[in-house]
Amino acid sequence: MRKLFTTLAIVAAGLLLIGMGAYIYMRTAMQGFSARAEPSRIEAVLAAYARDTAMPSSAKTLKNPIRLSLDVQHEAMAHFADHCAVCHANNGSGQTMFGKGMYPKPPDLRQSRTQNRTDGEIFSIIENGIRMSGMPAFGGADTADDSWKLVHFIRHLPQLTPAEETQMEVLNPKTPEELQEEKDEEQFLNGGDSSAKTATRRNMKGHSR
């Protein structure tokens, strides 16, 4: 009797798996694998699970060795504007042209999903990236300090002021056309001083890919 139950349970589990497989296959076949479509709930849950499992558990407890200062905050802000804002936006909302067309999308870094992570987790994500997502790995030979500074800046994002956001816009990467336009404007305005901006850009080191 017991054996019969076990057999029935195995058969039922098998049928369930086949059913789920067929369901996922049908949905994928109907929608294709476009990053434009909103993913199904199953896909989103599996992707989040895979992402969190990929995080080494030792990463969680790492402490930020860089002391927060105005200089550190400013450097990290410039760095974020230059390397991260294309996808994450200056204010961390993720509302950018690139961000909107990706799946998984860059999450709003000001919200609890990110802010509840430990410093070590955020550091590890910046250094190692997130596999099978648009989040690149920025780690290299001596990038640790830069990445820890970015952790400070990500903690600051929920309190970012409009003035800081405007400061960041100046530091966002520009196309050659945009640079030329700016130059023309400056010349037109009879030589506005642009040396401060150039100096900040030059001071940024690391992550220079």
Instruction: List contacts with ligand HEC (CB under 6 A).
Output: 51, 83-84, 86-88, 98, 102, 104, 106-107, 113-114, 117, 122, 125-126, 130, 133-136, 138, 150, 154
CB closer to ligand HEC, 21 vs 173 = 173
CB of 191 to ligand HEC, least distance (A): 34
Query: In whole angstroms, how far apart are CA 141 and each of 61, 138, 189?
Result: 22, 10, 43
Using the CB atoms, write b or e for 46-84: b if 16+ within 10 Å: ebeeebeeebeeebeebebebeeeeebbbbbbbbbbbbb
Query: In whole angstroms, how far apart are CA 93 and each of 10, 55, 61, 87, 132?
Result: 47, 23, 26, 9, 21
Query: In whole angstroms, how far apart are CA 186 and each of 19, 165, 168, 176, 181?
Result: 65, 22, 19, 15, 9
Six-digit token string for 97: 């042209």
CB of 6 to ligand HEC, least distance (A): 39
CB closer to ligand HEC, 39 vs 134 = 134
CB of 50 to ligand HEC, least distance (A): 9
- Give the span between the Cα atoms of 69 and 52, in whole angstroms: 31
CB of 170 to ligand HEC, least distance (A): 18
CB closer to ligand HEC, 154 vs 171 = 154
CB closer to ligand HEC, 29 vs 97 = 97
CB of 188 to ligand HEC, least distance (A): 33
CB closer to ligand HEC, 106 vs 120 = 106
